[in-house]
Chains A and B, each alone.
Chain A
Amino acid sequence: MRVAYRAELVGNPETGVVHGGVITTLLDSVCGLAVFSSFTQMRPVATLDLRIDYLKPATPGLDIRAEAKLDKMTRTVAFVSGYAYHDDVAKPVARASASFMLDSVGFKPTTSEQSSHSESTTGGATR
């Protein structure tokens, strides 16, 4: 997965470095994709938690790439790790560690009346 450098993504206008949230979004997406790509049929998935270490500032003007690896999948939870980098994954700008709940039932509000009062505890699924 790759995100191209754009002026709207800047978090620190003094340095031109992208906001940490851009890398968070990229790594959340690629970690989720690592889970989905291991399925033979579609299952609902919700992010339980995501931890990111920003190892060095991203270089302004450069694209950011990310890749992720499914470390372990149980019946209910998938554990994933990932890296964000410019050209060389051996020189990462950030690393991520995430866990995902599988078959997140109770997490499918479908009607427009559904509110956040739902008693679901299955996470902030994002996809």
Chain B
Amino acid sequence: MIESLRALKSSGRFTAINSLVPYAQFIGLEVELNATGVISVLRNLRSNIGNTHIPAVHGGVVGAALEHAAIIELCYVLELDSMPRVINVSIDFLRPVLAQDLYLQGEIVRHGRRIANMRTTAWQDDPAKLVATAHANFKLAD
């Protein structure tokens, strides 16, 4: 997979990274490039709804997207020999995550050779109104 990832990066097709990850496709995650780097988008899929009354996206799916956005950022910024492995994640739910697209930005707080500490933020209409945040640690190498 790392070979495929390197091929995507070297050919300028990094945004196709989620085609390598079955679960990312399953919940409708995509990657977009912008002026400052990459952002992840969780598409509004009916199958992601956890609360049908509001309706709102399932908190676990939001957590999954936050975690995945951190992995995307690591893969984009660093030249890795293997996929980062999640050690732990702590998610804060700030607002209802409504049935519309969700945008996620991962940020490296600090990384060494073995561990990366990440923070991810998520918003819908307004980037100034965060709907969820997470911080997480990843193992970069065994």
Contacts and interface: CB of A to CB of B under 8 A. Distances in A.
Interface of A: 7-14, 18-22, 24-29, 32, 46-54, 57, 107-110, 114-118, 120-121, 123-127
Contacts of A22: 23, 64
Which 6 A-B residue pairings sit nearest by Cβ, starting from the closest?
A21-B64, A25-B60, A124-B93, A126-B59, A19-B23, A126-B50
A49 B2 CA distance: 33
A50 B91 contact: yes
Contacts of B26: 8-9
Contact of A49 (B58, B93, B131): B93
A95 B85 CA distance: 16
A36 B22 CA distance: 32
B56 interface: yes
Describe B's contact surface by its main secondary structure. mixed
Describe A's contact surface by its main secondary structure. mixed
Nearest to A30: B60
A32 B59 CA distance: 10
A46 B59 CA distance: 9
Interface string B47-73: 000110110111111111101100000
B60 A27 contact: yes
B23 A116 contact: no
Interface of B: 1-2, 20-27, 50-51, 53-54, 56-65, 67-68, 82-83, 85-98, 100, 123-126, 129, 131-132
A51 B85 CA distance: 16
B130 to A, nearest CB: 10
A120 B95 CA distance: 6
Given A108-B54, A124-B131, A125-B96, A13 B60 contact: no
A38 to B, nearest CB: 19
Contact of A116 (B24, B60, B95): B95
A126 B1 contact: no
Given A50-B91, A121-B94, A8 B54 contact: no
B58 A28 contact: yes
Given A125-B51, A126-B56, A116 B125 contact: yes
